[in-house]
C-alpha cells in the first residue's frame, strides 16, 4: 500500500512539473514575441522620424 501511495504522489508531482514547464514555456514565447515586436515598432518609428533622440 505505501509503495502505491509513493508512486502516485511522485506521478502527481511529475505531472505538475510537466504542466509548469509547459506554462513557463508559453510565457517565455509570449514575452519574447512582445519584446521583439516592441523593438521592431521602435526601430520603424525611429526610421520614419516619428521618434527623435
Higher-confidence residue of 41 and 51: namely 41
pTM confidence score: 0.58
pLDDT of residue 15: 63
Task: Report the distance separating Cα 52 and Cα 7, nearest Å.
Answer: 62
Mean pLDDT over 13-31 rounds to 85
- Helical residues (DSSP H) of the chain, grouped into ranges: 2-47
Question: What is the mean pLDDT of the segment spanning 11-38?
Answer: 86
Percent of all residues in the chain with a pLDDT value above 70, rounded to a whole number: 66
Rounded average pLDDT over 8-31: 78
What is the grid cell recorded at 51? 521618434
Specify the pLDDT at position 14: 61
Euclidean distance between CA atoms 2 and 22, whole angstroms: 30
Amino acid at each position: 500500500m505505501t509503495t502505491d501511495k509513493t508512486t502516485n504522489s511522485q506521478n502527481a508531482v511529475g505531472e505538475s512539473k510537466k504542466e509548469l514547464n509547459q506554462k513557463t514555456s508559453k510565457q517565455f514565447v509570449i514575452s519574447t514575441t512582445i519584446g521583439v515586436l516592441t523593438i521592431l515598432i521602435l526601430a520603424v518609428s525611429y526610421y520614419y522620424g516619428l521618434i527623435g533622440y
